[in-house]
Amino acid sequence: MLIHISKPYFKIKEMAIKDVLLNQIGSDWNSSSPLYQQLANDLRKLILDGKISSGESIPSERILCEKTDASRVTVRKAIDQLIMEGLLFRRQGSGTFISERIEHKGEDLSGFTAEMRNLGVDPSSIWLIKMHAEATTEEADTLKLSTSAQVCRLSRVRLSNEMPMGIENTIIPAQFLPDLDSLTDSLYHALQANNRAPCHGEQKVTASIASPTEAGLLSIKEGGPVLRIERYTFLEDNTPLEYTRSVYRGDKYVFTSKLQLFNQGW
């Protein structure tokens, strides 16, 4: 049986979403900071808290003006700030919408390429560095190598549907990837082809802000929110395989983890 849902249904749903938005905007404004900044803060919180979904439109400038008693210039300035941060985007003739965000499950050991393809988007890379070199003292210590050993140094910007998402800086023992020409996009695929796929790993995620160089590579505002990720992966026998330091856009990347209660010894 086919169920037909008419367009008015979606229009009503959209109006309900906008009503929820409007009820949470401007409730605690004060005179201590610029009005456009307070409006931007309210909208940003709704977006980052997941109160509105990626792809949904926000209320029009006219409606926001009526709700907040702010001028069109003030409303537009707030929206422009969130567009610059990557949280919103304008679609000509349609309105302003919430930008898509990529969700990464913290328990999964997977690479960027596989992750993006599983989400139905097109991954790609802009290579900054791809070379073999003698390990520095720090690199040798990190990968448990001799100081005369060779490492692969890899640095690239990762893109999703041609949009910069993150910067990855990786070192691995050169013996595990002797032919760098075999590495085109997916590092884990190239390692697997050499029978060196990662078996387990650990990573640390911290919130930070983008440096001028990072902001330029990621097409975001200097000082914008980013996630810094350190990842170690190992072979089955616990031999260090990879150390990667990444910087991902905070407006585009979300980390989630599953939690389970093992005992009730609060």
pLDDT given for residue 64 in this prediction: 87
Does the residue 2 lie in any domain?
no
Does the residue 264 lie in any domain?
no
Are 88 and 147 in the same domain? no
Whether 214 contacts 247, CB under 8 Å: yes
Residue 154, pLDDT above cutoff 90: yes
pLDDT given for residue 214 in this prediction: 94
Are 106 and 186 in the same domain? yes
> What CATH number has the domain bearing residue 63?
1.10.10.10
The per-residue pLDDT of the chain, averaged, comes to 80
Q: Closest Cα partner for 125 from 91, 170, 75? A: 170
Q: What's the domain count of the chain?
A: 2
pLDDT given for residue 23 in this prediction: 64
pLDDT given for residue 16 in this prediction: 47
Residue 140: which pLDDT band, with cuts at 50, 70 and 90? very high
Is this structure's pTM higher than 0.75? no
pLDDT digits (tens, 9 = 90+) for 205-244: 898 999 999 999 998 888 888 989 999 999 999 999 999 9
Does the residue 261 lie in any domain?
no
pLDDT given for residue 84 in this prediction: 73
Residue 185: which pLDDT band, with cuts at 50, 70 and 90? confident
Residue 28: which pLDDT band, with cuts at 50, 70 and 90? low
Does the residue 265 lie in any domain?
no
Does the residue 177 lie in any domain?
yes
Task: Using a pLDDT cut of 70, give the percent of the chain over it.
Answer: 76
pLDDT given for residue 243 in this prediction: 95
Alpha carbons 113 and 132: distance in angstroms, whole number: 22
Residue 206 CA, chain-centre distance (Å), reads 13
Q: What's the number of CA atoms in the CB half-sphere (13 Å) around residue 53? A: 5
Are 113 and 62 in the same domain? no
Does the residue 263 lie in any domain?
no
Find the domain containing 92 and state its range. 7-98
Are 247 and 118 in the same domain? yes
Are 17 and 113 in the same domain? no
User: Looking at 116-120, 148-152, 185-189, 229-233, which range is the least confident one?
Assistant: 116-120
Residue 126, pLDDT above cutoff 80: yes
Higher per-residue pLDDT: 30 or 65 = 65
Residue 62, pLDDT above cutoff 80: yes
Does the residue 143 lie in any domain?
yes
Does the residue 13 lie in any domain?
yes
Q: What's the number of CA atoms in the CB half-sphere (13 Å) around residue 239? A: 12
Alpha helices in the chain (DSSP H): 7-23, 35-48, 61-68, 72-84, 112-118, 137-143, 187-193, 212-218
Alpha carbons 110 and 123: distance in angstroms, whole number: 14
Where does a domain end: 98, 114, 136?
98
pLDDT digits (tens, 9 = 90+) for 77-119: 998 888 877 778 787 788 888 876 665 555 556 667 767 666 6
pLDDT given for residue 137 in this prediction: 93
Task: Using a pLDDT cut of 90, give the percent of the chain over it.
Answer: 29
